[in-house]
Amino acid sequence: MSLRLRLTMLYSLFMGGILLVFGVVVFFLINVILLNQVDTMLANVVHDITKVMRVNAVGELNLISLPPLDMASNAYVQVWGQDGKLVTASPSISALTEPLDADALKTGKTLYHDSWVYAVHLRVLTVPLIVGTHKIGTLQVGTSLTVVDASQRALLSVMMVVAIVAVALAAIGSWALLGRATDSLEVITNAVDQINHADDLSRRIPSSGRRNDEIGNLVESVNQTLERLESLFTSQQRFLADVSHELRTPLTVIKGNVDLIRRMKQADEESLTSIDQEAGRLSRLVGGLLMLAQAESGKLALNFAPVELDLLLTEVFTEMQVLAKNKVTLHLNDIDQVIVNGDRDRLKQVLLNLVANAIQYTPQGGEVFLGLAKIGEQVRLTVRDTGPGIPAEDLPHIFDRFYRAEKSRTRSAFSGFGLGLSIVQWIVEHHGGQLKVESKVGKGSTFAIWLALLR
Ligand code: ADP
C-alpha cells in the first residue's frame, strides 16, 4: 500500500473518530437538555394541580376542577385513587382507562419515567398524593415525546450527513495534499534512478522553487551526498591515473634496458644501474602507497611513548649528512631539550622526509637549517632551506597526493612521487600537531611542525 494511501486512510479515520466522539457528546447533551425542559414543565403542571386539590372529611380526594392547562404544555393528567380506580383525567384522555405509566403507578414513588401508551412515546411524572402520613392517591402527568424524538432523529441525520461529508472532504483533501508531497519524492527517486542508470555523479536533483521544508532539505542533503561522492570518485580516479602513470615510466625504462641487454647479449653497467634505480623508485612508490593506504584505512597504528625530540633530531642530522655531503651544508642550531608524546619511528620518518626534500630541492652550495624550540606549552621543529622556494599557487597543494610543484615533472633518480608530504601531514595530524609551511620563491622554504610539549 502506498504511503499516500496509508496516510489518507489514517487522516480520514482520525477525522471520523473525532466526529464520532463529538457527535455522541452533542447528541446526549441535547437529549439531556430537552428532557430537562419536559421534566420541568411536568413538575409545574403537578404543582398547579396539587394547589387546587382538596380532601373531604372521609379522606377521599376531592378535585374541584383541573386547572386550565397551558395549551403549549400539551399535558395529560390522571388522578388515581388508592383503590386503583381512576378518579379523574384531563378531557383529551378521558376515554383512556389505563394508567399513563402503569409501572410507575405500582411503585408509588415520585418518578420521571418514559412509557409507551398505544404506540405513543410519553414522558410521565408520577407523584403520590399524601395527606399527613396517609397516602390517598397518585397523580400522573404525562406529555408526548414525539417532538423530542423527531428533533433527535433530525439531529442524528444532520450529524451523519455532516460526518460523511467531512470525512470525504478530509480524504479528498489529504489525498490531494499528500499527492504534492509524494510527487516531490517521486521526482527525487526518478532523479536518483537516472543518476544510477547513467552512472553520472555530476547530475543533481533539481531544487528549483522548492520550499524550505523537509523535502527541500532532503533534496539538499542528497545533492550534498552526490557532491561528496563525485569528489571522492574523481579523486579516486585521479589517484588511479597517477599511480598508473608513476608505475608505467619506471617499468618502461626497466623493460627497455632488459631488451637492450638481450639484444646486446651482455649486461652493460649503465643499463644495470638504470634498472637498479628504477626498481628502487618502484619499491619506494609501492612503500609510500602502502603506507598511505594503511593510514587511510585506519590500519596504521601509532605507538605512543615519550620521545626525546632533541636526540631524534640529532640522529636525523647525522644520518642525513651522507645525503647532504658535497651538495648542501646541514646546520643544527638552537635546539632545546624537549620530550613529546609520539611514535618515534613515525616522527623520524617525518623529519627524514622534510630534510630529504630540503636537500633535494636546494641547489648545490645551499644551506639547510634544523631547529627545535620550546614555545610555551608547545614544541616547534623547523626545517629551513635556502632552495628555490615554492610558488604561491602550488603551496596549497603540496600536501596532496602525487602533487609536485616542479612543472616539468623532471625525474631524477632521487626525485619523489609527491607522496612524501601527504604522509608527513598524516603523521603530524595524528600526533595532534600542525604542519606549516612558509616559502618565498628564490629565497627558500621553512617547514614547521608544532607539537604539544610533554615536558
Ligand atoms: P616529492 O616526493 O615529489 O618530494 P613531496 O610530497 O615530498 O613529494 O613534495 C611535494 C612537492 O612539494 C615537491 O614535488 C616539491 O615540488 C615541493 N617541495 C617539497 N619540499 C620542498 C622544498 N624544501 N623546497 C621546494 N619545494 C619543495
Alpha helices (H) in 297-343, listed in sequence order: 309-324
pLDDT on residue 408: 42
pLDDT on residue 183: 84
- Is residue 369 a part of any domain in this protein? yes
- CATH number, residue 239: 1.10.287.130
432-444 per-position pLDDT tens digit: 999 999 999 999 9
Structural domain including 254 reads: 214-297
The mean of the pLDDT values for the chain is 89
Under the banding of pLDDT at 50, 70 and 90, the label for residue 409 is very low
Mean pLDDT, range 274-284, rounded to an integer:
92
pLDDT on residue 312: 97
Residue with cell 467531512: 166
Does residue 366 line the site of ligand 1, with CB under 6 A? no
pLDDT on residue 60: 64
By the 10 Å C-beta count (0-12 exposed, 13-18 middle, 19+ buried), 181 is classed as middle
Q: Does 285 share its domain with 314?
A: no
In the reported structure, the alpha carbon of residue 441 is separated from the centroid of ligand 1 by a whole-number distance in angstroms of: 13
Mean pLDDT, range 181-206, rounded to an integer:
85
- CATH number, residue 314: 3.30.565.10
- Is residue 205 a part of any domain in this protein? no
CA 105 centroid distance within chain: 71
- Is residue 67 a part of any domain in this protein? yes
Q: Does 134 share its domain with 221?
A: no
Q: Does 137 share its domain with 35?
A: yes
Residue with cell 616559502: 439
- Judge whether residue 113 has pLDDT over 90: yes
Determine which of 83-87, 195-199, 409-413 has the lowest per-residue pLDDT on average.
409-413
- Is residue 47 a part of any domain in this protein? yes
- Is residue 130 a part of any domain in this protein? yes
Q: What share of the chain is helix, strand, coil (3-state, %, to 5)?
A: 55, 20, 25
Which residue's alpha carbon is at the smallest distance from atom 2 of ligand 1? 416
Q: Does 291 share its domain with 318?
A: no
Q: Is the full-model pTM beyond 0.75?
A: no
Q: Does 27 share its domain with 91?
A: yes
Which residue's alpha carbon is at the smallest distance from atom 16 of ligand 1? 405
Q: Count of domains in the chain?
A: 3
pLDDT on residue 216: 84
Q: Does 279 share its domain with 328?
A: no
Q: Does 48 share its domain with 87?
A: yes
Domain end (from 130, 151, 172): 151
- State what percent of residues in the chain have pLDDT above 70: 93
Mean pLDDT, range 145-171, rounded to an integer:
93
Domain end (from 264, 297, 330): 297
The answer to whether residues 128 and 107 touch, using CB atoms and an 8 Å cutoff, is no
Residue 235 CB-half CA count within 13 A: 9
- Judge whether residue 111 has pLDDT over 80: yes
Under the banding of pLDDT at 50, 70 and 90, the label for residue 56 is low
In the reported structure, the alpha carbon of residue 305 is separated from the centroid of ligand 1 by a whole-number distance in angstroms of: 29
Mean pLDDT, range 30-54, rounded to an integer:
89
Q: Please tell me the distance from the alpha carbon of residue 449 to that of residue 383, in angstroms, as a whole number.
A: 9
- Is residue 165 a part of any domain in this protein? no
- Judge whether residue 99 has pLDDT over 90: yes
Does residue 218 line the site of ligand 1, with CB under 6 A? no
Does residue 358 line the site of ligand 1, with CB under 6 A? yes
The answer to whether residues 346 and 294 touch, using CB atoms and an 8 Å cutoff, is no
410-434 per-position pLDDT tens digit: 555 456 788 999 999 999 999 999 9
Does residue 421 line the site of ligand 1, with CB under 6 A? yes
| Residue 57 DSSP code | T
Domain end (from 151, 185, 205): 151
Under the banding of pLDDT at 50, 70 and 90, the label for residue 95 is confident
Does residue 405 line the site of ligand 1, with CB under 6 A? yes
Q: Please tell me the distance from the alpha carbon of residue 137 to that of residue 80, in angstroms, as a whole number.
A: 5
Does residue 288 line the site of ligand 1, with CB under 6 A? no
